[in-house]
Structure formats: C-alpha cells, structure tokens
Chain A
C-alpha cells in the first residue's frame, strides 16, 4: 500500500452533488443499535478499511479512531475524495503502527458522512434523515464500533488509538470493554469537553444553522447545501487547532499577493486566504448536519460525570495499559487535561504513561511530523506487543 503524504491535495468534488458512497467497503450491523438518547437505529452501516493481515490467533488487531473531520482512511488514500492517508507517518509498513505486524482497522464514526450511517443517510423509508437523525454520543459511536468488531469475528483488540475526538473513543472503549483492549493510546484528547470547547463548536453550529441553505436541517431533500455556514464553522474551529506562535511563524501579518492593504474586505492577509481555503476545501468533503451531530457528541462527552462525578471511577481496576500523548502548544485540548486524565488513571491503579511533546504546532501536531511522538508510539507499541506475545 502506497501511503505517501498527500494531505494537501484537494479532492475531485467540485460540484454540489455528492458522489456515491456505495463503492466504499461497508458492513451492516446484525442487530439494532440502542442509543444513549433512548432511541435505536436499525440496519446501521459501518464504512471501514483495513491494512495488514489478521494473525491466526486474531490477537493483532489495532483499531484507529478518527477525529471530528477524519475518515476511515488513516493509512491509505480516500477513493472518494482522492485525499491521501491522514496518518501516513504513524501507520504503514515499518511505521510505528507497523502494518507488517498489526492488522489495522479504521471505521467511519456513527453520525459521520463517509459511508457510515449518519444524518446524510437514508431512513428505512428512503427519505434522508437530516436533523430527524437521533442525537448520538461518543459512547454510541463506540457501541457501534464494538458491534462492528464483533461482526468481524474479532474477540479482542491489541490496541485502540486515536487523536482528538478519536482519543475520546479510545477512552470510551477502555471504559465500555476493558477486557477487550490490551493497550490504549488517547492522543491530544480530553476526558471532558470544556466550556471553551463547547463555545467554539457552538459558533460553528450557529453558522451552519444561520445559512438559509440549511433548510432547518432538510437541505438534502431540497437539493441544497449550506456550504457557506459549514465553511465558517470550519474556519472558526481551525483557529483552535493551531497555535498563535505557528500562525505567526507561517503568516504573521503578511499580505496575500499584494503590496498594500486594499481598503476592502478582500482577503488582504495571508491568514484570511488560508482560512478561506480551509473552509472551501472542507465543504467538498463533509456534510453540514454530520458536523452538527459529531460536534454535539463531543460536547456531551464527560467521562467523569458519567461515572458518579469522579473520573477515576470510570477506570477502577482496568487491566488496560494506557499511554497518553499531549502537545505543549495545544490549546484545544491542553496538556493539563491529559495530566488530569493521568491523575485519574493513577488514582484508579491503572498502568498509565503520559508524554507531553514539546512543539509549537498546536492541536494538529498529532497529525504532523513530530519525530519524538512517533518514536515514543513505536516504543510503546513494540514493548506492548512483546508483552502480548506478538512476534516482531
């Protein structure tokens, strides 16, 4: 599998009609999925991809959980968007998550828009869900993944790893099914969405819902798309994924293709042009309602509150080996929040490691070149695999 870094390539999706998702690899869950909100979903489809061979004992499976805007293609190109693997430095032959040693599985989350059942999918009667889709939680996403992994005939996972919202799923896996996870790597994540996190995502949701093309959530049935609102949502969120020092290093107040400010509202500054590009390229590959549902799931995530108000209770007696990573300049999910999770895991008597990587790349550092991070992941996984009896 060729996994060259192609993250900045934009996909061939220029028009308003979404290409068919039917070509993607999918599995339909054998039973209805009960949700936290009290409703249940029938015939849930999970879109997924795999790399590397499953061993005879079925003990070398690694589940990769994606972030808010990610998909099931961490280690290979997305055939629909043409975008390259989003974790090419971490997963692949000879990489820290070595596909010659591990069977890597990635799914699109419940509520997502890359083939898994979500608000852009059709109801049993054929009409698109839109905002009639039930509100889902991170725990629901993990329940769907668990049913999916069961359906694959895999009893336990060697490892679950993921960054940002993917890290929330990792924690939730360890809480829901500690006996099925040997080691867990929550990366650049938090056990609890802060007021600031909720605030930024609420700005994004309001931008989407203020777009007249949103049509109260039923734009698919009306043949429209709230691209402007979704682009603004992406722009606002993107600011929180990068650090002030990285913005200064890359853009500062530099002007975009001009010698002086234009006394207009054009994108005079490079940072404006960059953010507009981020917004524009995002709407080609993401569904606005999915953005509402998935950000809501993150807002509702509070592991401690879900366990009697004490985070340590969520992990009491857990046999899972944890390894947390945080990044010094991440102000979206700051290292202090990873340290709080570490404190809870220590209090619960769980085997935990936590490394804070020094970087100026902000929250997105987990997706970028960070040799210290990559080496530490490789070391932890190799040592854990030897403890699990997996050949090198």
Chain B
C-alpha cells in the first residue's frame, strides 16, 4: 500500500527518533509510517474507539479522547512534535486546541482545507453559496478557514510559521518560508509547520 502524499510530506518534516503525538490519529496510518521510516516514539489521540482499536493492533499507543477537552492530560513539552492532520476545522475550539498543541510540543504540524482557494472565493462571490462540499450543513468542518486565517491565529498564539506547503490533487508542493498570499489563493489543502 502506497502512503498518502500529505503523509509523506509530514514525515519529511519530522526528525528521526522524535517523540510524536498525532491528534486525531485515526487507525494510525501516519504514526505507523513515522515509526517505520523515522523510528519515532509514536503516540496518538483518537475520538473513535473503533479506529483507536485499529491503531492498537498496529502496535501503537493510542488514547481514546476528545482533542477539545482531553489534551490537558499531556504535560508541557512531553513531545517534540504534535500533528493535527485534517482535523482542526472539526474542533469546537480551534484556538484552544492549537494553543494546547503548542504547549505540549515546541513544533506543530497542522494540515487543513483552504477556503481561500480562488474557485471557492468565486463561488461565494458569484453564486452566493458556501463552498463547503457537498452542502454547508453536511460538512464536518465546524470552522472553515483560509490559510491566512490559520497563520494569523498561530501568530496570535505565539506560534511562528516556519514553512508552508500546498497539497493539490494529492500532490504536495515544496515547503517554503513565505508566499502565503499565493498559497492562500491557489492551494486546495495546506500544511503548516509551526514552532514556538
């Protein structure tokens, strides 16, 4: 089974042997990849007990819990890197979750769907309808946002954007330190590498 491009991109940002917490780790696919390729100490937090059980069967350590309320069980700096992959827009309180991640680990990787992409802007402008697929009330994203929104929130929380990369049709572009305006205009999804 070939790994997802965004997973490979996240793996590339993580040093070998790091202590990694994946929040919303699902069945542990990314953590499994990290353990095999980087030898990291891999831990996960997952809301679904079925998915957490699958991560257990991979030999991963996973705590079933809710990122909105349970991140406080992790002490300050108990990890080197915290990952929040395609989950921050599903949180009830994204600012709280992001600040918790910055407390738990000095480096944070966060990926999300970018509402700032131009066809989405155009849809709202031209049709007056939300660009949330398939329907705005079906979307599991409670807090849709743009790449610029997220960089701004991170800055308010004391987190610096070290690098950012676009993900389009499953292909990850280069990580760059800058070019936010263009990224915000064109990227389908975005991966941000934040640090304290």
B49: nearest residue on chain A (CB-CB)?
A355
A355: nearest residue on chain B (CB-CB)?
B64
The distance in angstroms between the C-alpha atoms of A339 and B69, with both chains bound, is: 12
Beta-carbon contact of A379 and B56 below 8 Å:
yes
Looking at the assembled complex, report how far the CB atom of A101 sits from the nearest CB atom of chain B, in whole angstroms: 15
User: Size range of the interface on A?
Assistant: 20 to 34
Beta-carbon contact of A383 and B63 below 8 Å:
no
* Given A353-B62, A379-B57, A383-B57, A342-B49 contact (CB < 8 Å): no
A272 within 8 A of B: no
Beta-carbon contact of A354 and B56 below 8 Å:
no
B128 within 8 A of A: no
Q: Mark A349-385, 1 if CB is under 8 A from B, else 0.
A: 1011111111000000000000010011011101110
Beta-carbon contact of B59 and A346 below 8 Å:
no
Beta-carbon contact of A355 and B61 below 8 Å:
no
Beta-carbon contact of B73 and A383 below 8 Å:
no
Residues of B contacting A372 in the complex (Cβ-Cβ under 8 angstroms): 49-50, 53
Residues of A contacting B57 in the complex (Cβ-Cβ under 8 angstroms): 375-376, 378-380, 382-383
Looking at the assembled complex, report how far the CB atom of B164 sits from the nearest CB atom of chain A, in whole angstroms: 31
Looking at the assembled complex, report how far the CB atom of A159 sits from the nearest CB atom of chain B, in whole angstroms: 14
Beta-carbon contact of A346 and B73 below 8 Å:
yes
A323 within 8 A of B: yes
Residues of B contacting A342 in the complex (Cβ-Cβ under 8 angstroms): 63, 73
Beta-carbon contact of B58 and A376 below 8 Å:
no
The distance in angstroms between the C-alpha atoms of A383 and B62, with both chains bound, is: 13
The distance in angstroms between the C-alpha atoms of A29 and B5, with both chains bound, is: 60
- Which label, helix, strand, loop or mixed, suits the secondary structure of the B interface? mixed
Residues of B contacting A323 in the complex (Cβ-Cβ under 8 angstroms): 56
A58 within 8 A of B: no
The distance in angstroms between the C-alpha atoms of A231 and B60, with both chains bound, is: 45
Choose one: A321, A347, A356, A382; the contact of B64 (CB below 8 Å): A356
Residues of B contacting A343 in the complex (Cβ-Cβ under 8 angstroms): 73
Choose one: A321, A357, A386; the contact of B49 (CB below 8 Å): A357
The distance in angstroms between the C-alpha atoms of A356 and B69, with both chains bound, is: 15
A20 within 8 A of B: no
Residues of B contacting A358 in the complex (Cβ-Cβ under 8 angstroms): 49
Residues of B contacting A339 in the complex (Cβ-Cβ under 8 angstroms): 65, 70, 73
Beta-carbon contact of A351 and B63 below 8 Å:
no
The distance in angstroms between the C-alpha atoms of A355 and B56, with both chains bound, is: 9
How many residues of chain B are within 8 Å of chain A by beta carbon? 20
The distance in angstroms between the C-alpha atoms of A353 and B56, with both chains bound, is: 8
The distance in angstroms between the C-alpha atoms of A99 and B125, with both chains bound, is: 65
B54 within 8 A of A: yes
A387 within 8 A of B: yes
The distance in angstroms between the C-alpha atoms of A323 and B56, with both chains bound, is: 9
B52 within 8 A of A: yes
Residues of B contacting A353 in the complex (Cβ-Cβ under 8 angstroms): 52, 56, 60-63
Beta-carbon contact of A352 and B53 below 8 Å:
no
A350: nearest residue on chain B (CB-CB)?
B61
The distance in angstroms between the C-alpha atoms of A346 and B41, with both chains bound, is: 13
Residues of A contacting B63 in the complex (Cβ-Cβ under 8 angstroms): 342, 346, 352-354
CB under 8 Å from chain A, chain B span 18-55: 49-50, 52-54
Residues of B contacting A376 in the complex (Cβ-Cβ under 8 angstroms): 49, 52-53, 56-57
Q: Mark A36-80, 1 if CB is under 8 A from B, else 0.
A: 000000000000000000000000000000000000000000000
CB under 8 Å from chain A, chain B span 106-154: none
Beta-carbon contact of B53 and A355 below 8 Å:
yes
A375: nearest residue on chain B (CB-CB)?
B53
Q: Mark A216-233, 1 if CB is under 8 A from B, else 0.
A: 000000000000000000
The distance in angstroms between the C-alpha atoms of A42 and B156, with both chains bound, is: 67
The distance in angstroms between the C-alpha atoms of A376 and B65, with both chains bound, is: 16
Looking at the assembled complex, report how far the CB atom of A316 sits from the nearest CB atom of chain B, in whole angstroms: 13
B78 within 8 A of A: yes
Residues of A contacting B53 in the complex (Cβ-Cβ under 8 angstroms): 355, 372, 375-376, 379
Beta-carbon contact of A386 and B74 below 8 Å:
no
B75 within 8 A of A: yes
* Given A346-B78, A356-B64, A387-B49 contact (CB < 8 Å): no
Looking at the assembled complex, report how far the CB atom of A365 sits from the nearest CB atom of chain B, in whole angstroms: 13
Residues in chain A within 8 A of chain B (CB atoms): 321, 323, 339, 342-343, 346-347, 349, 351-358, 372, 375-376, 378-380, 382-384, 386-387
Give 12 pairs: A residue, B residue, CB < 8 Å, sorted on A. Answer: A323-B56, A339-B73, A343-B73, A346-B75, A352-B61, A352-B63, A353-B60, A353-B61, A356-B64, A372-B53, A380-B56, A383-B56
Given contacts A346-B73, A378-B57, 18 further A-B pairs with CB under 8 A are A323-B56, A339-B73, A342-B73, A346-B75, A346-B78, A351-B61, A352-B61, A353-B52, A353-B60, A353-B62, A353-B63, A354-B63, A372-B49, A376-B49, A383-B57, A383-B58, A383-B59, A384-B59
Residues in chain B within 8 A of chain A (CB atoms): 49-50, 52-54, 56-65, 70, 73-75, 78
